[in-house]
Structure 1
């Protein structure tokens, strides 16, 4: 099974074509010279424009440029717009100029990159946090450049991009050559993106065995080992640190015919898609994999599934489908494409979503070109450029129709063109008209999705007799001629889908389309992101969960409460359900609790008290940081040495044999106390704690919590050190309280 080149397929009018057009506008609003500024700075060259702010100025400098290369290349291939190619060529020429100035093959935008990489080269490595040597995910950062350069070559045949990335690859091979396996594994503890995949790609581009060996050397063994044993050890791990590793494993497995590694990849995919993904295809809460038997944290959080996770799970699903010719991978791909990827961009003015909460009556935040430089902006730039990548596929002679998306296909090599016209999901049919240079015999394979009922195919108006086998292909072999018309018709039905933990939260799903209801436009604080560090997360108030809509009655009545209107809209009492990808600029409800009439009041009373307790604590909280969670730690300027994090007892934590520090904000000096909480008993003699470089005034230490009296400062720099080179307790939270 092979995919067609993006150049071979063109989208036509529909939601996906609109998303592609809106993405192009956003891409063209970004200024190449501002994206390139970190690279010029690191190369010692004068900048042509100031660099962007936000994440591009606080440690992840240069990462968006790598995504931008990929987006330009793929969108150019998908549309043929010459302005995109002009920008791509300019970006490449400037990167080559930086590479030449560095004179060793290196090019990058990482702050103080030359000093940083020299420390790594000499074996001075502290991989005890998600970052490396107190630098924000530098390997993740440079992987984006590797991927962007590789995409520029893959989709536009740019020899310049190939030259730059080969020199960069050779530099990296030399960089890690002196390091022992233990040192490399220490590096790989930190978030490193898909750097292993990039070296597998370099091998595919050059047939240079060194690159394949490097890809294998960059295998994070502590993560892979459980997968090889088909053990789920994902809970508590940072989700998008892990998924790109698996993309690399998948490619290496195919290149080396490593069946054990291939099976580990498939185990990971099954585990994430079947036990860790919600109805719209996303996974994780606050960027981390939650327990498979408890999704309550996701239900309560404003930081639901991250778009980057789905970006990479879609990529993994595509790779597995092409390698194994198994349409079950397409079922997940399709579900995630329609419900998460398509919904992650504002369809009118543009802007990308980072977190998609499933918390009832909450909302999402959209990026803006001048203020937002998050990881999900980078992957978002790419997401909407390549919708045509898997609508069709082929083997040596035959065509496979995988998705019902309006588009045209031109298989020039075979003299086969076709046009697919469909209004799916609003209408349950698709029409395909063939345009051939000559009459010829081949097979057209139409995917029958798992959700399609009463599936039938007509050729020139005549129904084709076939076995009904959902989640497979229906094959039509004949001698085709120009003008032949294939009509695909089917039905869909609405069903309720529980959260994977089996709790009483359900979502309405019609066919592959997740439905949700707009509930209000109240207090959408930060709907369009500012340039703050956490601008990608919502700041508006939480509506108590006990005020959410619920389904009450007999189980058999839940589904019947939704009354069909038109265009996939349903009335549900006072709500109107509609496709989630249509829901924007509003609070919404996707998941509903289900109760029998007898248990409703009792369960709601318990939920109400839980919400009151949580609200009371937040009301007296000025600032807090969850130890061991990536974004809260970055947002609070975490630094540390000999420090380690983990997940136990349903909490993230961090411990240190050296030191760990954070900067918290005591806004308006309202906070009177700092509480430091741990999972373990605390012995104060083994810990030094300072506040703004002054020994802390400890009031009490009981119930595994240290309480510290705060002075009159708006910035609270907290440093905790081990006094005996032994691990401190596992600290899970620092919280500034008003009383």
Structure 2
């Protein structure tokens, strides 16, 4: 269902005004006849919602403490430095000291503004106003609207102010790759975050100076793109650019200056967006978080122009990602990339679910829901918000994960206070500043309750004050009370009934209420007064859910919550095999241990032994297992036979091995005298390795022996467009091309070694060199072994 053209015109006016805090937006619409689900919705202001004690409130508190420990001046370091102003704090480490520097400031400004709206804490607004004022100073010193903190690495290795790439680009000298633009790491992505921070400062903290700074920066960027033809614009957009189209769409909404709308529409990455408009899923092997913000930009453009093709692309993308490319916790991506649709079961690794992807998918969900409210959108939102976003922060420390690993036994790795600032740390600062932003939505006299998070809300359009209390998702009862209302007033409360819930019950003032059901909502329309109560009771039964691509790979859920096996403390090593579940009635084998905390235990079905299951998100400092191979007893016996056969093969290979090189591991690389350039260690699916980018190499010394030898190298079977050489003591013995033709498995490739290269030697140097324009590896281990006599 899509809004009518007349509604589109009305929404253009309302949303542009709402961005400036000048309108109440969709809440001004007339009541929906008969209590039906309205055609559109908008979220109640974040500032009208206050969280009550819960795991969500704990996350906000931990995040606020971290935000207040951070220094605005340290984030501003490069902005001041490149404008010729005195710096006031040492630059932060990690990504903030790399060429992507400056991104952190935009996210930090957004996080402060969101936290100000969420909590009203008095210490936050002065920081917001200070940052905006300093950016205005920087802009004045630059003299042309420019503000940025990112840097550029020249070909000679010198790192300089990133501003010097733009005269080159305007001359048509464009060197654009996936994450590099003329030696600068994703500068347009960086600016998108700065714009977002400025807009959030205006929206949530009432800072109108922020809009003027944004207009000045937009003017500089517009001049850059004005110098380019359409083909050159597409070249620039081949480098990750975040939602820079959204930035200019939003600037148009706030200023009504059509200059910004024209630029937003010009920043359309045709290669990625056109197939989605045409209903084609070509997402495999695309970097997930590079694409999602482009679609959010299209969503904003659709809201401002009514262009249907933009809405079509967004809706198609969302449907494909949520139904065909997502894990049970709601996240997506393996090593940050989409795999082929419906192949999740083959991609359960330690590199799953980049947090930024879920942060952005939730933003997209909000857009789609606002156009046509349906509980199905919030079934996805709740799953991701609860199981991924909450798992992304350690509330004890306030630190964040980059990936959320779903491979059995892999611990979550958290950021440090001052020396990481990965993108997921920065989006995490925002995610955990706004847990109240999507609980309550409205249209006219309908209030949607979409998330069951303990909170209070002031619903300005009716004058009602309500309180939601619950232990959901640990318990199934949700209580909503009208805490304040002048006199009596008729309105509709729409309670989301999750698709998994089946039977449910609604009580109004303690008595059963036959609520109308529509689009996943129980609609309660009546005359309300202060003191009225509603209780929604949802069943929280256990269920198994298969991973896309293999019905025999399952996860356990209770209501919206993913339960995972506890495999021990994260600071203790785990070397066991991935556990499995065996039996004719696996679901029936689970018994409650602690209902109040959703703790269960498998009885008789766990292999190699029974396991304790508890909420995945809460296992912050535990190793866990989320997905399990499910077997019948007969299938389990057969799998054990196959396992023993593989054990025997590996033992034979070990017995014949002369030397083994464990790449990507510190001590083995030292022991084997590793030498390298433009080369990095990697880790994937529990195996360490190493690659070398174009112009680089890696080499190491291995023991050898007389007689026929074979060099074996291990690769991930889905690597593609890899082209490199292997040499021994300077003599090439193989050219390797990897084309992704072995999905879902590691592959071992054997290369016979000419005897003349090893005869009479005790060791040789093995070297991997990429063909120019390509990558060598990653290589997940090298083995030199004696050939089998023929």
TM-score normalized with structure 1 length: 0.84
- Which position in structure 2 is the counterpart of 1:548? 578
- Which position in structure 2 is the counterpart of 1:577? 613
Q: Take 1:575 and 1:162, find their aligned partners in 2: how far apart are those partners?
A: 55
1:142 equivalent in alignment to 2:186: no
1:50 equivalent in alignment to 2:90: yes
- Which position in structure 2 is the counterpart of 1:701? 734
- Which position in structure 1 is the counterpart of 2:295? 246
Residue aligned with 2:331, SS? coil
Q: Take 2:752 and 2:722, find their aligned partners in 1: how far apart are those partners?
A: 14
Residue aligned with 2:75, SS? helix
- Which position in structure 2 is the counterpart of 1:648? none
- Which position in structure 2 is the counterpart of 1:11? 51
- Which position in structure 2 is the counterpart of 1:538? none
Q: Take 1:232 and 1:71, find their aligned partners in 2: how far apart are those partners?
A: 33
1:235 equivalent in alignment to 2:284: yes
Q: Take 2:352 and 2:541, find their aligned partners in 1: how far apart are those partners?
A: 27
- 54-63 or 606-615, which deviates more: 606-615
Q: Take 1:244 and 1:716, find their aligned partners in 2: how far apart are those partners?
A: 43
Residue aligned with 1:495, SS? strand
1:120-131 alignment, distance < 5 Å: 120-131=169-180
Q: Take 2:723 and 2:114, find their aligned partners in 1: how far apart are those partners?
A: 54
Q: Take 1:356 and 1:681, find their aligned partners in 2: how far apart are those partners?
A: 27
1:117 Cα offset (Å): 2.0
1:264-283 alignment, distance < 5 Å: 264-283=313-332
Q: Is the 8 A contact 1:674 1:735 kept in 2?
A: no
1:50 Cα offset (Å): 1.0
- Which position in structure 2 is the counterpart of 1:386? 434
1:660 equivalent in alignment to 2:694: yes
1:274 Cα offset (Å): 0.3
Q: Take 2:767 and 2:206, find their aligned partners in 1: how far apart are those partners?
A: 50
1:269 Cα offset (Å): 0.3
Q: Is the 8 A contact 2:350 2:405 kept in 1?
A: yes
1:371-410 alignment, distance < 5 Å: 371-410=419-458
Residue aligned with 1:488, SS? strand
Q: Take 2:524 and 2:440, find their aligned partners in 1: how far apart are those partners?
A: 15
1:487 Cα offset (Å): 1.5
Q: Is the 8 A contact 1:623 1:665 kept in 2?
A: no
1:454 Cα offset (Å): 2.5
- Which position in structure 2 is the counterpart of 1:366? 414
1:42 Cα offset (Å): 1.9
Unaligned residue ranges in structure 2 (runs of 5+): 1-40, 152-160, 604-609, 666-675, 681-690, 705-710, 738-748, 758-764, 785-790
Distance 1:433 1:670, change over 3 A: farther
Q: Take 2:724 and 2:60, find their aligned partners in 1: how far apart are those partners?
A: 58
Unaligned residue ranges in structure 1 (runs of 5+): 525-540, 625-634, 640-653, 710-714, 723-727
Q: Is the 8 A contact 1:682 1:701 kept in 2?
A: no
TM-score normalized with structure 2 length: 0.79
Residue aligned with 2:591, SS? strand
RMSD: 3.3
Larger radius of gyration: 2
Instruction: Give the count of matched residue pairs.
Output: 672
1:397 Cα offset (Å): 2.2
- Which position in structure 2 is the counterpart of 1:75? 115
Q: Is the 8 A contact 2:375 2:497 kept in 1?
A: no
1:108-507 alignment, distance < 5 Å: 108-111=148-151, 112-295=161-344, 297-299=346-348, 301-434=349-482, 435-467=484-516, 472-507=520-555
1:347 Cα offset (Å): 2.0
- Which position in structure 2 is the counterpart of 1:531? none
1:270 Cα offset (Å): 0.6
Residue aligned with 2:181, SS? coil
Q: Take 2:451 and 2:434, find their aligned partners in 1: how far apart are those partners?
A: 13
Residue aligned with 1:140, SS? helix
Q: Take 1:390 and 1:378, find their aligned partners in 2: how far apart are those partners?
A: 20
Q: Is the 8 A contact 1:676 1:707 kept in 2?
A: no
Q: Is the 8 A contact 1:671 1:737 kept in 2?
A: no
Distance 1:214 1:718, change over 3 A: farther
1:64 Cα offset (Å): 1.0
Q: Is the 8 A contact 2:540 2:558 kept in 1?
A: yes
- Which position in structure 2 is the counterpart of 1:514? 562
1:73 Cα offset (Å): 0.2
Which residue, out of 92, 96, 102, partners 2:132? 92
Q: Is the 8 A contact 2:713 2:781 kept in 1?
A: yes
- CA deviations 1:71-130 (Å, max 9, x no partner) are 000000111111111111111122111111111001000112221222222221011343
Q: Is the 8 A contact 1:517 1:583 kept in 2?
A: no
Residue aligned with 1:454, SS? coil
- CA deviations 1:457-485 (Å, max 9, x no partner) are 2111121113556x522222222111111
1:517 Cα offset (Å): 1.9
